[in-house]
Amino acid sequence: MHAHTEHTQVTPAAGEALVREYKRLRVRDTTGGAATSWRITVRQLESLIRLSEALARLNCTNEVRGAHTDM
């Protein structure tokens, strides 16, 4: 229950890692050889952030670090 009371902050390095991964997914999605029919949107970036925050809370820390953003 303690993890739900903490507000997590994304560190600048972790934020850059999330943006870099989002950009990589966008580039891969826009290439003509993609075998998938789904599109990467800002919703996926928001999901990556929420998942990283959840991992930080699981580790009982209020900072999202690089280890929480590794894909």
Are 59 and 4 contacting, i.e. CB atoms less than 8 angstroms apart? no
38-47 pLDDT, tens digit per residue, is 678 888 889 9
* CB neighbour list of residue 48: distance below 8 Å, 6 or more residues apart: 18, 21, 22, 69
Map out the domains of the chain as residue ranges: 2-69
> Looking at residue 42, what is its pLDDT?
87
Q: What is the mean pLDDT of residues 2-14?
A: 77
What percent of the chain has a predicted confidence (pLDDT) above 70? 79
Is 71 a residue whose pLDDT tops 80? no
